[in-house]
Amino acid sequence: MALRHAVLAALLSGEYSGYQLAKAFDVGVANFWYAQPQQLYLELTKLEKDGLISGRQVVQEARPNKRLFTVTEAGKVELARFATADCKPSFIRDDLLVKVQAVDHIDAAPVIAQLDDRAAAAAAKIEFLDRLLRQLRGDLDEETFLRRGEPLGPYLTCLRGRQFEQEHHTWCVRAATVLRDRAKNRSS
Amino acid sequence: MALRHAVLAALLSGEYSGYQLAKAFDVGVANFWYAQPQQLYLELTKLEKDGLISGRQVVQEARPNKRLFTVTEAGKVELARFATADCKPSFIRDDLLVKVQAVDHIDAAPVIAQLDDRAAAAAAKIEFLDRLLRQLRGDLDEETFLRRGEPLGPYLTCLRGRQFEQEHHTWCVRAATVLRDRAKNRSS
DNA sequence: AGAATCATGTAAGGGGTTACATGATTGA
DNA sequence: TCAATCATGTAACCCCTTACATGATTCT
């Protein structure tokens, strides 16, 4: 049971439809989890069946109807229980790192290209997260918000996400530079 | 096929038995992937069957016999092919972040405790990785090693792992402090 | 005497990815 | 007219985790 609690936690911020959640999880607004639309629809169905969330139908004219979900009391209890259970250590699993690990034995060119792509993607996400953070904290500065702003949880996870992207970006640029310099020296 | 290439990349550094690989992957020397022993044994069997690695039996007296694996030519070709294919973006999936996301709605105490644990674990891993980095670079300083040291790949992934742990540590300490301060102010 | 290390596997089940399926509206 | 957005699902498959299984040696 993994995605389960991520969805519950996400739904604490308000009512969302499957589609809206999917966007958040996919684009990566979810700085605490990632999931695909299909999995979310499935999980939402299960969560509703288990009484941890409840959905209400919203009829729309111009658009297809949608169902908005809210966390029930039972859902909050389940989250509280989950919070006391101990959790697995976080770990890295990244295709690109595998490629870099092997870079002494394979052609570096495609790896460098992908490092550049990643760096660009990370930069875009950093901008996005900065906007989101500013929005979350309103007219307070960060220190003040951390002392008494609400909601704190989403702000903290967003900070972590921002930090992660920043580091990722720095590393990609560094690695690409190192690899490019070596290629240059070898050819000269 | 995900673990497959991670194992291949790991085996480029030398001959390893399933058990030795498992330790590396589990303890987290693998800064590019994580896997459990059982999965590794399974994957090694498959890789050998596919001719991407070859194992040789090593008979031992005092210890059980073991099989050491090496990447074959076919394995290197497969890795090169993998390196040119485009890869999935890396993402975060962390139970603890889910708990922090929900912290406005649940008891903060257990979350704070787990943040402390994580911070301590991260600190330990940072020390470990620092030792590993020093070992990898020998008597060269970092800049020099990055310019012409070998092997470069493992050093770069290790740097990324170190950086990740560092950030993780910083964030955990920060989040725990913020949550503790709020608990204090609320009670006073 | 018990725990830890070395050493390798099998089997069941759950979680996640990919592919398939549908259909109306809006903007380029 | 083509792509994108809104909106929700099903089915197959693969990957990964957890639990089970064995057994000798070394250290505390």
Chain B: nearest CA to A59, how far in angstroms? 30
Q: Which residues contact B114 (CB under 8 A, 6 or more apart)?
A: A86, A87, B96, B99
- Answer whether residue A179 shows pLDDT above 90: yes
The mean predicted confidence, pLDDT, of chain B is 94
B39: pLDDT confidence band, cut at 50, 70 and 90? Answer: very high
Nucleotides of D under 7 A from a protein CB: 6-11, 14-20, 23-26
Task: Return residues 38-67 of B near A (CB < 8 Å).
Answer: none
Q: Is the peptide bond before B154 cis (omega within 30 degrees of 0)?
A: no
Residue A62 pLDDT more than 90?
no
Q: What spatial distance separates the first Cα and last Cα of chain A, rounded to whole Å?
A: 55
**Residue for token digits 């007296």?**
B61
Tell me, what's the pLDDT at B160? 96
Q: Using CA atoms, how far apart are residues A71 and A48, in angstroms rounded to an integer?
A: 9
Q: Which of B33, B129, B146 is nearest to B90 (CA)?
A: B33
Distance separating alpha carbons of residues B93 and A87, to the nearest angstrom: 12
pLDDT band at A2 (very low <50, low <70, confident <90, very high): confident
Q: Is the bond preceding A89 in cis, omega lying within 30 degrees of 0?
A: no
Are the C-beta atoms of residues B37 and B16 closer than 8 Å to each other? Answer: no
> Is there a contact between B33 and A97 if contact means CB atoms under 8 Å apart?
yes
| Helical (H) or strand (E) element with B20 | helix B18-27
- For residue B123, the model assigns a pLDDT of 95
Q: pLDDT value at position A89?
A: 86
Token look-up 């940072």 returns B126
Q: How many CB pairs under 8 A join A and B?
A: 219
Which chain B residue is nearest to residue A96, measuring alpha carbons? B87
Predicted confidence at residue A21, as pLDDT, reads: 95
- The three-class DSSP label of residue B86 is coil
* Minimum Cα–Cα distance from A144: chain B residue: B178
φ and ψ of B44, to 5 deg: -60, -40
| Residue A114, amino acid | Q
Three-state DSSP class for residue A107: coil
CATH tag, A3-84: 1.10.10.10
Question: How big is the CA angle at A10 (ends A117 and A139), to the nearest 5 degrees?
Answer: 80
pLDDT at residue A26, as a whole number: 82
Query: Nearest nt (C1') to A43 (CA)?
Result: C15
Geometric angle at alpha carbon B12, from B7 and B18, rounded to 5°: 45
Query: Which of B80, B101, B161 lies closest to A157 in CB terms?
Result: B101
Looking at residue B42, its pLDDT comes to: 96
User: Among A101-115, A166-180, B24-38, B126-140, where is mean pLDDT lowest?
Assistant: B24-38
* Closest protein residue to C16 (Cα–C1'): A39
Here the tokens at position B58 are 């090593």
Measured distance CA(B161)–CA(B165) in Å, rounded: 6
Q: Is the peptide bond before B110 cis (omega within 30 degrees of 0)?
A: no
pLDDT band (50, 70, 90) for residue A29? confident
**CB-based contact (8 Å) between B170 and chain A?**
yes
Q: Would you mind telling me the total number of residues written for chain A in this entry? A: 188
DSSP state of A161: H
Cβ(A147)–Cβ(A100) below 8 Å: no
| Res A28 pLDDT > 80 | no
> CA A94, CA B160: separation in Å to the nearest integer?
11
Q: What pLDDT band is residue A154 in, cutting at 50, 70 and 90?
A: very high
* CA A47/CA A7 separation, integer angstroms: 9
Average per-residue pLDDT in chain A?
94
CA distance B71 to B66: 17
- Where do the domains of chain A lie? 3-84, 95-187
Name chain A contacts of B155, Cβ cutoff 8 Å: none
Structure tokens at B71: 């990447």
Quick one: which of B125, B135, B116, B118 has its CA closest to B163? B125
Residues 45-74 of B with CB under 7 A from strand C: 45, 60, 63-67
CB-CB under 8 Å, A102 with B90: no
Cβ neighbours for B34, distance < 8 A, ≥ 6 positions apart: A91, A92, A93, B25, B26, B28
pLDDT of residue A92: 87
Query: What's the pLDDT tens digit per position in A71-95?
Result: 999 999 999 999 999 888 888 899 9
List the A175 CA – D24 C1' distance (angstroms).
Answer: 46
A174 phi, psi to nearest 5 deg: -60, -50
Strand C–CB B99 distance below 7 A: no
Radius of gyration of chain B (CA): 21
Nearby residues of A66 by Cβ (< 8 Å), 6 or more positions away: A17, A18, A19, A57, A58, A60
B143 interface with A at CB cutoff 8 Å: no
- The residue-averaged pLDDT of B116-140 equals 95
Q: Does B121 touch chain A (CB under 8 A)?
A: yes
